[in-house]
């Protein structure tokens, strides 16, 4: 993983990147996106919240581990990771909402997708 140092993370250890960006930032991104989904708001409202989470992750790298605060490159990496995890959190929550609150209309096809239920023909005849 040392060959990714300088590309994905600037610290001396990949563990710091995994802890701060993936675990802490990912968790915060998941929870922010989940809150937006639970409020039945559209996905585009997640974008601003997730970009703020990525800025917070960048600040933690700066404040605790002497990382670069204003770095477009590392902010973009943090934002991409947080956006991916946040998007999965939004879709997971929205799928659960749609298939539990509208179970007569939709059925779950995977943890992140749903589809319309096919009508059961109870044909009288």
Q: What is the pLDDT of residues 99-118, one digit of tens each?
A: 999 999 998 999 999 889 88
The helix, strand and coil proportions of the chain, stated in percent and rounded to the nearest 5, come to 65, 10, 25
Measured CA angle at 91 (ends 86, 96), to 5 deg: 130
Q: What is the pLDDT of residues 17-66, one digit of tens each?
A: 888 999 999 999 999 999 999 999 999 999 999 999 999 999 998 998 87
- Look over the chain and give the mean of its residue pLDDT values, rounded to a whole number: 88
**Residue of 114 and 124 predicted with greater confidence:** 114
State how far the alpha carbon of 26 is from the alpha carbons of 46, 54, 122, 124, in Å. Answer: 13, 9, 47, 53
pTM: 0.82
């Amino acid at each position: 993983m040392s060959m990714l140092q300088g590309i994905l993370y600037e610290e001396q250890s990949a563990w710091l990147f995994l802890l701060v960006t993936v675990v802490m930032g990912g968790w915060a991104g998941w929870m922010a996106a989940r809150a937006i989904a639970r409020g039945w708001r559209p996905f585009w409202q997640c974008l601003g919240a997730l970009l703020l989470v990525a800025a917070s992750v960048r600040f933690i790298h700066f404040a605790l581990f002497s990382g670069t605060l204003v770095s477009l490159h590392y902010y973009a990496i943090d934002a991409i990771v947080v956006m991916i995890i946040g998007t999965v959190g939004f879709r997971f929550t929205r799928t659960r909402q749609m298939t539990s609150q509208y179970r007569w209309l939709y059925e779950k096809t995977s943890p992140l997708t749903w589809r319309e239920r096919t009508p059961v023909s109870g044909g009288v005849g």
